[in-house]
Amino acid sequence: MYYLFIALIGAERLVELVVSRRNATWSFARGGREFGRGHYPVMVGMHAALLLSCVAEVFFAHRPFIPALGWPMVAVVAASTAVRWWCATTLGKHWNPRLIIVPGAELVRSGPYRWVHHPNYMAVAAEVVALPLVHSAWLTAIVFTIANAAVLRVRISAENRALGYSVGA
């Protein structure tokens, strides 16, 4: 069942890429400018490697499903996915995992953005921890939490600059 769960998450990521491509075309047609292009492939690669590592650790290290850990982690993954899609819905055609800014576009301050600048990244961070722990792949959870923190440090800095947030805002 875990392998199917990971496959479903992978399929959901493919849907995100389709939406992303459509939204990028829309943004570029309106003069959108891409920032942080260098770190985007690293983000994509890291998330693909996370899914593969979840499967590999469970398979090769014979990690068990521990219901007291696994089911709460399924709930965290579901909640983080819901928050990520809430972010995408709130941003509409402006949502994209690539960092594309359309000149003159208003900064979104509704939905989850009324409380925090980067709710999507909070959801991603929770998911990176929870997804491997659904099937007690603790090594993957540790390694990718650290990798995700490093990637998000670069990404959030680039996004803050692109959006014009001042440091500490």
pTM value is 0.91
Amino acid type, 150:
A
For residue 17, what are its two tokens? 């890429």
Chain centroid to Cα 133, Å, comes to 17
* In contact, 55 and 4? CB cutoff 8 Å: no
Amino acid type, 92:
G
* In contact, 101 and 107? CB cutoff 8 Å: no
Q: How far apart are CA 118 and CA 97, in angstroms?
A: 12
Q: What is the pLDDT along the chain (169 residues), one digit of tens a residue?
A: 999 999 999 999 999 999 999 999 999 999 999 998 899 999 999 999 999 999 999 999 999 999 999 999 999 999 999 999 999 999 999 999 999 999 999 889 999 999 998 999 999 999 999 999 999 999 999 999 999 999 999 999 999 999 887 544 4
